[in-house]
Structure 1
Amino acid sequence: MFEAIEIKAYKNDNKLSKIFSNGCLLYEDDEQKVFASNNYSVIEDGKKTFINKGKEIWFFPKNKLFNIMWFLEQNKTLFFINIASPISDKNIYIDYDIDIKVNKDGQYQILDLANFNKNRFLYKYDETIVNNVWDTVDELKKIIKNKEKWFNKKYLENILKNESVYKWINQE
């Protein structure tokens, strides 16, 4: 019913960083692409590193420097946000290292700041990228705190009512 696809993450020097397998495109609109996966595997640096158990919906806003994984069968973490370029038509994005983990209670933790600070020199992030990354982190902190868009219960309930999302969740 849903065609399996891969999503690829590269570093700023065009080196492949991760391949996410077992995903599918649920829908695309003017604002975002919405993917889903069930037990996706991640290949990092050419080696299979882990399989993420459970169902996730993955939002890729078209004009934002982040993407958001929503864990439907969550334990403590409800969302995982990658600071990254918008996804391309070929399902590729550039990973800018910083991640944000959001728990069910709305508390968040910013991860991998040391990696960003190291890689911004290693991969020669230009000043515009660095400034945009920090602006994006600030924007996300406000969106999370104010429970806007992806972090709003009514918005997520509406996502679940989307025909493609509903079919994917309820497939056997």
Structure 2
Amino acid sequence: MKFPQIGSNIEVQSYKHNGHLHRVWEETIILKGTSQEIVGGNDRIIVHESDGRQWRTREPAICYFTAKHWFNVIGMIRNDGIYYYCNLGTPFTYDDEALKYIDYDLDIKVFPDMTYKLLDEDEFALHKNQMKYPEEVEHILWKTVDELVSWISQQKGPFEPAFIEYWYERFLQHR
């Protein structure tokens, strides 16, 4: 698998199960890029929605993508601590155009005290029926919710206390 080079600036694209483009993040600077894991950073970037709307992120963020797990994690650096937004979706792929994954609606928001909330179960139920998610995909996603909750409670991977801080320092060097 191809992967982006450290220091390169890439686009991140999320799609829906039906193949339609869902959301595009314009700029993410690659801080670590291997075939198995990508860490990127961005700050106040423009995000394009499939319905034509666009908005700007409010704070610096460190993004963690893995080729083995059905999730990605965005650590948002705010004045009152680090908030995490976990998207449940396919492992990433990368081509010369962008880093890409399929977003499967379910999200977990993690607060600075490491409490969390599962989001968008209603959207998942709706899209599961509309787009006819295979049973296998649904099984993987619910198993991934359990896996993410375990990572959060163990402060593993991107939830490890110094992870976001370490990569944010690297991000500041590449700006």
Map 1:61-100 → 2, pairs under 5 A: 61-75=66-80, 78-90=83-95, 91-100=99-108
2:128 corresponds, among 115, 120, 123, to 120
Query: Conserved in 2, the CA contact under 8 Å of 1:41 and 1:48?
Result: no
2:19 corresponds, among 1, 8, 14, to 14
* TM superposition score normalised by structure 2: 0.86
Equivalent in the alignment of 2:172: 169
In structure 1, list runs of 5 or more residues that go unmatched: none
Q: Secondary structure at the match of 2:122?
A: helix
**Aligned residue pairs, count:** 167
Quote the offset at 1:170 in angstroms: 3.7
Q: Secondary structure at the match of 1:14?
A: coil
Residues 86, 152 of structure 1: alpha-carbon distance in 2 compared, 3 angstrom cutoff: same
2:115 corresponds, among 99, 107, 118, to 107
Residues 101, 77 of structure 1: alpha-carbon distance in 2 compared, 3 angstrom cutoff: farther
- With 114-123 and 148-157 compared, the bigger mean Cα shift is at 148-157
1:24 corresponds to which letter in structure 2? I
Residues 36, 50 of structure 1: alpha-carbon distance in 2 compared, 3 angstrom cutoff: same
Q: Secondary structure at the match of 1:153?
A: coil
Quote the offset at 1:6 in angstroms: 1.1
Rounded Cα–Cα distance in structure 1 between residues aligned with 2:46 and 2:121: 25
* TM superposition score normalised by structure 1: 0.87
Q: Secondary structure at the match of 1:69?
A: strand
2:29 corresponds, among 24, 31, 49, to 24
Residues 149, 3 of structure 1: alpha-carbon distance in 2 compared, 3 angstrom cutoff: closer
Q: Secondary structure at the match of 1:47?
A: coil
Residues 76, 121 of structure 1: alpha-carbon distance in 2 compared, 3 angstrom cutoff: farther
Matched, 1:141 2:149: yes
Quote the offset at 1:49 in angstroms: 3.1
Query: Conserved in 1, the CA contact under 8 Å of 2:87 and 2:105?
Result: yes
Greater relative CO, 1 or 2 (CA 8 Å, sep 6+): 2
Query: Conserved in 2, the CA contact under 8 Å of 1:22 and 1:39?
Result: no
Rounded Cα–Cα distance in structure 1 between residues aligned with 2:164 and 2:59: 18
Matched, 1:42 2:47: yes
1:141 corresponds to which letter in structure 2? V
2:141 corresponds to which letter in structure 1? V
Quote the offset at 1:126 in angstroms: 0.5
Quote the offset at 1:20 in angstroms: 0.8
